[in-house]
Amino acid sequence: MNTPLQILRKQLRQQRLALSKSQQQHMSSLAIQRLQRSALFRSARNIAIYLPVRGEIDPSQLPDFGRAGQQFYLPVLSLYKQHGLVFVRWNKRTRFRLNQYQIPEPIIRYSQLKSARKLDLVVMPLLAFDRTGSRLGMGGGYYDRSFAFKMRTGQTRKPTLLGIAYQFQQVESLLGQPWDVPLDAIVTETQLIKFVPSG
């Protein structure tokens, strides 16, 4: 018997996949434009994004490789930290391979690696979010493990963790787990919300 969380995951995946290509592109463009106008994006220098799969919002139009002042990074499954990510700089010369989930990721060049702690802004995929900054991911825990350091008392608030999603992915409330790393902000095709840290 499926749990409520499994049912929610399935419903949102189906809703996302039901979008036509033109709907995906249109809503992605609106969300990206909203993000590009924000101080969160304009003030960031080292920015991690992702390549979309299975109908996710597409942030791959964010990089302007000719623009000085900003560098972009893509997540790569870590070879050394189980269920962790490393971040590799993305430029016009980047070569890709498919990972174990058949998602394209850059071939690691150690000169192009950036520590998660050194990123300014991380644009993250998700399945659902609520108005408190709770995020429901794909279930692998990769982002939570990679940014667990943000949960420790006295740690820096960098990087800013920003979820990007369709507006229909907002839900009333998500029951979080102690290891879930909350979002600092969310952007959709209709809004950008900054969450106030608790405590």
The answer to whether 74 is a known ligand-binding residue is no
Q: Strand, helix or coil at 19?
A: coil
The answer to whether 56 is a known ligand-binding residue is yes
The answer to whether 143 is a known ligand-binding residue is yes
In whole angstroms, give the CA distance from residue 164 to residue 186.
Answer: 6
The answer to whether 135 is a known ligand-binding residue is yes
CB 127 within 8 A of CB 169: yes
* CB-CB neighbours of 91 under 10 Å: 11
The answer to whether 133 is a known ligand-binding residue is no
**DSSP conformation letters of 147-190:** TGGGGSTT---PSEEEEE--GGGB-S-----TTPPPPSEEE-SS
Q: Residue 64 corresponds to which tokens in the numbers above?
A: 């302007």
The letter for the amino acid at 75 is P
- What is the phi/psi pair of residue 62, to 5°? -65, -45
The answer to whether 51 is a known ligand-binding residue is yes
The answer to whether 69 is a known ligand-binding residue is no
* CB-CB neighbours of 71 under 10 Å: 20
The answer to whether 93 is a known ligand-binding residue is no
In whole angstroms, give the CA distance from residue 58 to residue 169.
Answer: 15
The answer to whether 140 is a known ligand-binding residue is yes
Residue ranges of the binding site for ATP: 135-143
Mark the binding-site residues for substrate, compressed into ranges: 51, 56
Binding-site positions read: 51, 56, 135-143
